[in-house]
Amino acid sequence: MRSTFKRRLFGAATALALAGASLPAQAQDFINILTGGTSGVYYPLGVALSKVFTEKMQGSRPSVQATKASVENLTLLQQGKGEIGFTLGDSLAMGWAGDEEAGFKSKLDKLRGVAAIYPNYIQIVASKDSGIKTLADLKGKRLSVGAPKSGTELNARAILQGAGLTYKDLGKVEYLPFGESVELMKNRQLDATLQSAGLGVSSIRDLATSVPIVVVEIPADMIQKVGNPYVTATIPANTYEGQSAPVTTAAVVNYLVTHSGVKDETVYQMTKSLFESLPELAAAHAAAKDIKLENALSGMPVPVHPGAQRYFDEKGVKKQGS
C-alpha cells in the first residue's frame, strides 16, 4: 500500500517537473509588434494586429512597441528583438543592401518578408500663412522631415533631391515625429511638415482642424525622375479639412517583415490572421482598406519567410511576373 502511494507521489512529482520544464517554451508565443510613433498609422494598425493575434492565434501573447519606425524596426528585427514590424519599401531595400548612408551599418541578412500592405503617401503640408504653394517655395522655409534616418526622412531626402533641393536650401530642418511637428506648426515655429503615412493620418487631421493648411503637390514628372520605389498617387479631395481639390503626390509601398529566427508556424498563423481580418484592420485605420491579398508579394525586396510563403501557396498568390 505504502509502495503504491510512493509510486503515485513520484509520478505526480515527475509530471509537475515536466510541466515546469516545458514553461520556457511558451516564450515562443510572445509576438512583439514593432510599429512607429503613436500619432502615425503604424501604431494603430499594430494595436489592431495585436487584438487579431490574441483572438485568432491560440496561446499567443502579442505586445505593441512604439518606435522610430522603419529603420529602427528593421534593425531590431535583425537583432531578434521583435517578431513582426512595419517598414517602408525603400528602407527595406536599403536595409537588405546594408546601405550605411541610410543608417544600416551592415547588411540585414536575417530579414524575411511577410506581406506588402498599403502605400505610404508622401504628404507635404504647409500652413497657409507660410506662403508655401509649391516644392520650390520650401527654399528658405522651416521644414520637419521626420526622425533622423527614419523611413520618412529617407523619403524626404529623395523627394527634395528630385525637386533640386537639399537640406542646405531650407531655412531650418527639424527632425521630429509627426505629432511634435504638428504642435510646432500650430505655434508658428515651423512652416511645413513632410509626413510619409497612410491617407487620413491623425497628425495632419489634427493640424488641419487647428490652422488653415496647404497640401503641396509633388508633380508626376518629378516622381518619375526620382524613380523606384516611388510611384505617382493622388490624395483625394477632402482627405483633410480645407483641402478641397485632389493633390498629386508620391507613394511608396509599406511591408510587414519578420526575421529568419521566427518559427514557420508562427509566421504562417500571423499571415493567415492578417488576411482573414482585413475589416478589423480597416476599422482601426482607413489606410488598411488598401491591403489586398493579391498584392501581398508585390515588389517584395527581401526573401519571403517560409511560413508566409506557405499561406500564399495555399491561396495561389504569386509574385508579379512569376
Instruction: Name the grid cell of 198.
Output: 497612410
* Same fold flag, 29-117+254-315 and 120-252: yes
Tell me what pLDDT residue 320 has. Answer: 65
In this predicted model, what pLDDT tens digit does every residue of 198-234 receive, in sequence order?
999 999 999 999 999 999 999 999 999 998 889 899 9
Query: How would you label 109-145 residue by residue, b for 16+ Cβ within 10 Å and e otherwise?
Result: ebbbbbbbbbbbbbbbbbbeebebeebebbeebbbbb
Q: What does the alpha-carbon distance between residue 60 and residue 51 come to, in Å, rounded to a whole number?
A: 10
Tell me what pLDDT residue 12 has. Answer: 45
Tell me what pLDDT residue 101 has. Answer: 86
Q: Confirm if 264 and 286 have CB atoms less than 8 A apart.
A: no
Report the chain (322 residues): mean pLDDT per 10 consecutive residues.
46 43 50 94 97 96 95 97 96 95 93 96 97 98 90 93 96 95 97 94 95 97 90 95 97 96 97 98 94 95 97 92 48
Q: What does the alpha-carbon distance between residue 114 and residue 33 come to, in Å, rounded to a whole number?
A: 13
pTM over 0.85? The answer is no
What is the DSSP secondary-structure string of 153-203?
HHHHHHHHHHTT--GGGSSEEE---HHHHHHHHHTTS-SEEEEEE-TT-HH
Q: What does the alpha-carbon distance between residue 158 and residue 161 come to, in Å, rounded to a whole number?
A: 5
Tell me what pLDDT residue 19 has. Answer: 41
Q: What is the CA radius of gyration of the chain?
A: 23
The residue type at 128: K
Question: What separation in angstroms does the CA of 177 have from each of 54, 66, 134, 304?
Answer: 29, 12, 23, 30
Tell me what pLDDT residue 281 has. Answer: 97
Give the start-to-end residue ranges of the domains of the chain: 29-117+254-315, 120-252
Instruction: Name the grid cell of 107.
Output: 547588411
According to CATH, the topology of domain 29-117+254-315 is: D-Maltodextrin-Binding Protein; domain 2 (3.40.190)
* Domain 120-252, CATH homologous superfamily name and number: Periplasmic binding protein-like II (3.40.190.10)
